[in-house]
């Protein structure tokens, strides 16, 4: 039975409408997918924008810190490292160790831990520690989880103090100046309980580590030069310039606050004969031995110095004459009992010593003259003895 033309037309129109609806739905689905993708891209861009803002802030802080780190003052440098660097990576704990090449040891300079930590680490006993690993490879070690790190490493690490930390994440970085290791910086426990990561934390700390390493090396060199300028090259005691500056300051302080002050001067008897019989290297060796004995008998607040030639001086702040005589007698007795040798030969020497205390109205030259006069009085009375200025 033939379909009426009107009904056939309606069917055709219906199919066209269905096709349009299908295309419309397909377009909506496509737009919806595009919208989802766009939202993800926007979220990613927002996340990157936030990261960039954080990174920019860290770079600004880094620039500011670089000026504070650039100092010869080792204590000031350590203070900046411990107080300000943890803020950059939200680290709870930080410790700064300095490396001693001679003894292959790490010495703690400063930390912010709530309890005590090791002040010295002998690396031959702790080669499998994180710091030992960092020093061996001269590369930073970022640990998200120490257990996973050990499994990847294939060995157990020295974790003596692991119980002191709230998390198992840490960052250990060598402080390098060129190819020279100056120390190690340790950061542990993120304040939010998460782990240190390669994107937010490592680049900033790595950049800082180079600045700190260079500053440490400069500080070491500066202090070494300062020390050399104050020290007698042969005996390693203070030199004449340092002696005079120290004595001048102590005389001023003692005069102002009415404190006691003593000065010991001594001369090596028979030094010329040692040089004549055994040569100048023997004389140099003798002076070094005398200096070591004198240095072993003075307090940290005292100053032992080489006055010149074979003469030595000891400044005793906060010491009355009676106390100075006790120290002087101990030194001279120690020198009498010591057997001075050079290449197996015994060096026959003694020491003449004079002591004076600061009296009212005295200036530096007066005190030196009194002690020097007492020393020459000891020589005049037969040498190898102590005389006090009258």
pLDDT computed for residue 7 by the predictor: 67
Contact 119, 97 (CB under 8 A): no
Res 301 pLDDT > 80: yes
* Angle at alpha carbon of residue 243, lines to 237 and 246, rounded to 5°: 120
**Residue for token pair 């912010």:** 112
Contact 329, 297 (CB under 8 A): no
Q: Which two tokens stand for residue 156?
A: 């157990």
Q: Phi, psi (5° rounding) for residue 319?
A: -130, 120
pLDDT computed for residue 12 by the predictor: 72
Res 6 pLDDT > 80: no
- The residue among 132 and 14 whose pLDDT is bigger is 132
Contact 354, 378 (CB under 8 A): yes
Residues with Cβ < 8 Å from 304, sequence gap 6 or more?
237, 238, 291, 294, 295, 298, 312, 313, 314
- Per-residue pLDDT band for 5 (boundaries 50, 70, 90) equals low
Res 241 pLDDT > 60: yes
pLDDT, tens digit, for every residue of 86-115? 998 999 999 999 999 888 899 999 999 988
CA 49 to chain CA centroid, Å, is 38
133-151 burial code (b ≥16 CB/10 A, e <16):
bbbeeeebbbbbebeebee
Q: Which two tokens stand for residue 378?
A: 């000891």
Residues with Cβ < 8 Å from 259, sequence gap 6 or more?
253, 317, 318
Q: Which two tokens stand for residue 348?
A: 């026959």
Q: Which of these ranges, 22-36, 94-108, 189-203, 274-288, has the smallest mean pLDDT?
A: 22-36
Q: Give the percent of the chain with pLDDT over 70.
A: 95
pLDDT computed for residue 20 by the predictor: 75
Average pLDDT over residues 254-262: 95
* Closest to 389 measured CA to CA, from 364, 363, 369: 369
- Per-residue pLDDT band for 388 (boundaries 50, 70, 90) equals very high
HSE, side-chain direction, 13 A CA sphere, residue 190: 17
Distance between CA 254 and CA 269 in Å, rounded? 32
Res 47 pLDDT > 90: no
pLDDT computed for residue 28 by the predictor: 78
Res 309 pLDDT > 90: yes
Residues with Cβ < 8 Å from 376, sequence gap 6 or more?
352, 354
Q: Which of 267, 269, 310, 372 is catalytic?
A: 310
- The residue among 65 and 230 whose pLDDT is bigger is 230
Residues with Cβ < 8 Å from 348, sequence gap 6 or more?
270, 273
pTM of the model: 0.65
List, as own/partner pairs, every contact residues 125-132 make where C-beta atoms lie below 8 angstroms and the sequence separation is at least 24, other chains included. Answer: 126/158, 128/155, 128/156, 128/157, 128/158, 129/157, 129/158, 130/157, 130/170, 130/172, 130/186, 131/97, 131/106, 131/172, 131/184, 131/186, 132/158
Res 331 pLDDT > 60: yes
Res 374 pLDDT > 60: yes
Active-site residue flag, 310: yes
Res 3 pLDDT > 60: no
Distance between CA 305 and CA 240 in Å, rounded? 7
Res 64 pLDDT > 80: no
pLDDT, tens digit, for every residue of 118-177? 888 888 877 788 998 999 899 999 999 999 999 998 888 887 777 788 899 999 999 999
For the chain, the 3-state helix, strand and coil shares in percent, each to the nearest 5, are: 55, 20, 25
pLDDT, tens digit, for every residue of 188-232? 999 999 999 998 899 889 989 999 999 999 999 888 888 888 999
């Amino acid at each position: 039975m033939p379909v009426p033309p009107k009904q056939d037309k309606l069917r055709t129109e219906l199919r066209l409408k269905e096709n349009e609806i299908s295309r419309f739905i397909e377009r909506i689905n496509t737009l919806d997918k595009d919208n989802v993708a766009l939202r993800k891209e926007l979220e990613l861009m927002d996340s990157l924008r936030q990261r960039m803002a954080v990174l920019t802030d860290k770079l600004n802080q880094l620039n500011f810190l670089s000026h504070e780190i650039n100092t010869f003052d080792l204590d000031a440098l350590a203070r900046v490292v411990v107080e300000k660097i943890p803020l950059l990576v939200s680290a709870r704990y930080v410790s700064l160790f300095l490396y001693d090449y001679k003894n292959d040891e790490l010495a703690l300079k400063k930390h912010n831990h709530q309890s005590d930590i090791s002040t010295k680490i002998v690396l031959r006993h702790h080669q499998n520690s994180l710091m030992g690993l960092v020093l061996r490879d001269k590369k930073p070690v970022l640990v998200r989880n120490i257990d996973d790190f050990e499994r990847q490493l294939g060995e157990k690490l020295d974790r003596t103090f692991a119980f002191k930390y709230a998390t198992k994440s840490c960052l250990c970085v060598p402080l390098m100046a060129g190819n020279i290791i100056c120390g190690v910086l340790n950061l542990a426990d993120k304040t939010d309980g998460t782990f240190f990561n390669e994107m937010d934390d490592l680049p900033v700390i790595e950049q800082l580590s180079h600045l700190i390493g260079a500053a440490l090396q400069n500080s070491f060199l500066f202090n070494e030069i300062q020390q050399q300028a104050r020290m007698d090259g042969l005996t390693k005691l203070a030199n004449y310039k340092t002696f005079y500056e120290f004595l001048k300051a102590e005389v001023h302080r003692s005069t102002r606050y009415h404190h006691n002050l003593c000065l010991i001067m001594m001369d090596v008897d028979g030094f010329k004969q040692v040089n004549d019989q055994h040569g100048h290297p023997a004389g140099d060796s003798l002076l070094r031995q005398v200096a070591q004995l004198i240095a072993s008998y003075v307090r940290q607040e005292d100053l032992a110095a080489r006055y010149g030639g074979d003469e030595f001086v000891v400044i005793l702040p906060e010491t009355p004459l009676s106390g100075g005589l006790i120290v002087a007698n101990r030194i001279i007795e120690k020198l009498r009992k010591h057997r001075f040798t050079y290449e197996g030969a015994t060096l026959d020497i003694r020491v003449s010593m004079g002591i004076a205390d600061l009296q009212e109205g005295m200036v530096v030259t007066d005190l030196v003259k009194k002690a020097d006069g007492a020393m020459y009085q000891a020589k005049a009375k037969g040498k190898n003895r102590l005389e006090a200025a009258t």
